[in-house]
């Protein structure tokens, strides 16, 4: 039976929060929104998902917030994709008023030769260049679309045979992806302590190559490969996938799925979906690893 779960009970799916007798006030919430990481390319690595966080956002009680947790992008040959956006939407005031607080999916890694990485929360790494003296593909742009503070960084550029046909590393929330000539490592992610412990999210994937591959960035980025598929990004971190070998047609890993966390000093009136509910430092923490909703 469908419905809403709240600490200590269950509300029927027919429950109408708009018609409920809710005493309105204002509470302050902290939030973290991480999008899905980009899928791995053939040598180019996926970028980390967009990373957006904030504290003391004012919210009117009785307001439902709709939570979307983005999936990681695909590394499937012929169907490679960016990660999927994550968001919090609801209420009548910033930052959650429609279209909401949105983190963009990480950019897909470049595939084939001389192919750019995808733009996204953090950009995907460019692919290798075919033939001595030919430049590889450029890294994708990060922080796309542009928000302030920035949600991510650019991917690294690929290079030609001098650097073992290696692609560029995916950008991370905390650093740009490494160019092929600099190792093709994924950019480091960014840390948040909203859960009660410091956790790093949205690292870029490491580039794939013909004989040398890059390592994934801290925050769930997958390692690149010299043979076969790169490693997938870690689930619920928004990490980008590692790049596959430089064969051009190799399927690679998928980006890591995103996560949304909301914390407050008050207990929610209801939640929809199955968030993990914990406490730390006098705050109640709601961790969504799949889409849902919450009302305080």
- pLDDT tens digits, residue range 77-128? 889 999 999 999 998 888 999 999 999 999 999 988 889 999 999 999 999 8
- Looking at residue 249, its pLDDT comes to 62
pLDDT tens digits, 17-38:
444 444 568 999 999 999 999 9
Tell me if 190 sits within 8 A of 51, measured CB to CB. yes
Cross-strand partners of 267: none
169-210 pLDDT, tens digit per residue, is: 999 999 999 998 888 999 999 999 999 999 999 999 999 988
Counting every residue written for the chain, the total comes to: 296
pLDDT for position 32:
98
Q: Which two tokens stand for residue 65?
A: 């917030």
Q: How far is CA 138 from CA 50, 112, 160, 187, 203, in A?
A: 20, 13, 12, 15, 19
- Scored b (16 or more CB within 10 A) or e, 44-64 reads bbbbbbbbbbeeebebeebbb
Q: Are 255 and 24 in contact (CB under 8 A)?
A: no
Q: How many CB atoms are closer than 10 A to CB 231?
A: 25
- Can you tell me the distance from the alpha carbon of 230 to that of 116, in angstroms, rounded to the nearest whole number? 18
Q: Which residue has the higher pLDDT, 24 or 138?
A: 138
Average pLDDT over residues 271-295: 97
CB proximity list for 166: less than 8 A, separation 6 or greater: 43, 128, 158, 159, 180, 184, 207, 208, 209, 210, 212, 213, 214, 224, 246
How does pLDDT run across 206-248, given as a tens digit for each residue?
A: 999 888 899 999 999 999 999 999 999 999 999 999 999 877 5
Contact 200, 239 (CB under 8 A): no
Burial zone of 160 (CB within 10 Å; 0-12 exposed, 13-18 middle, 19+ buried): buried
What angle is formed at CA 88 by the lines to CA 83 and CA 93, rounded to 5 degrees?
140
Q: Give the C-alpha separation, 273 to 283, whole Å.
A: 20
Residue 288 has pLDDT above 60, yes or no: yes
Q: Which residues contact 130 (CB under 8 A, 6 or more apart)?
A: 113, 114, 160
Is the pLDDT at 273 greater than 70? The verdict is yes
pTM: 0.91
Task: Choose between 166 and 282: higher pLDDT.
Answer: 282
Average pLDDT (52-67) is 95
Say how far apart CA 96 and CA 193 lie, in whole Å. 21
The tokens for 5 are 């779960």
């Amino acid at each position: 039976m469908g419905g809403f779960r709240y600490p200590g009970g269950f509300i029927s799916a027919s429950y109408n929060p708009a018609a409920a007798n809710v005493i309105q006030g204002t509470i302050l919430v902290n939030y973290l929104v991480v999008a899905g990481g980009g899928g791995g390319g053939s040598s180019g690595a996926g970028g980390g998902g967009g990373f957006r966080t904030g504290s003391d956002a004012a919210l009117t009680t009785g307001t439902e917030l709709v939570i979307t947790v983005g999936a990681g992008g695909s590394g499937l040959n012929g169907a490679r994709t960016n990660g999927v956006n994550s968001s919090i939407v609801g209420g009548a005031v910033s930052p959650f008023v429609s279209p909401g607080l949105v983190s963009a999916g990480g950019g897909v890694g470049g595939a084939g030769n001389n192919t750019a990485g995808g733009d996204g929360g953090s950009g995907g790494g460019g692919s290798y260049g075919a033939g001595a003296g030919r430049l590889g593909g450029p890294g994708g742009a990060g922080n796309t679309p542009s928000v302030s503070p920035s949600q991510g960084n650019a991917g690294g550029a690929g290079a030609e045979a001098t650097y073992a046909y290696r692609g560029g590393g995916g950008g991370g929330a905390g650093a740009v992806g490494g160019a092929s000539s600099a190792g093709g490592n994924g950019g480091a992610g960014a840390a948040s302590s909203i859960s009660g412990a410091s956790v790093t999210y949205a690292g870029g994937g490491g580039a794939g190559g013909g004989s040398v591959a890059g390592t994934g960035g801290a925050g769930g980025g997958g390692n690149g490969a010299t043979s076969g598929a790169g490693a997938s990004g870690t689930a619920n971190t928004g990490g980008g996938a590692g790049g596959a070998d430089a064969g051009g047609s190799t399927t690679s890993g998928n980006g890591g799925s995103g996560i949304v966390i909301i914390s407050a000093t008050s207990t929610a009136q209801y939640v929809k979906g199955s968030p993990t509910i914990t406490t730390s430092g006098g705050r109640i923490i709601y961790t969504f690893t799949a889409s849902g909703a919450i009302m305080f």
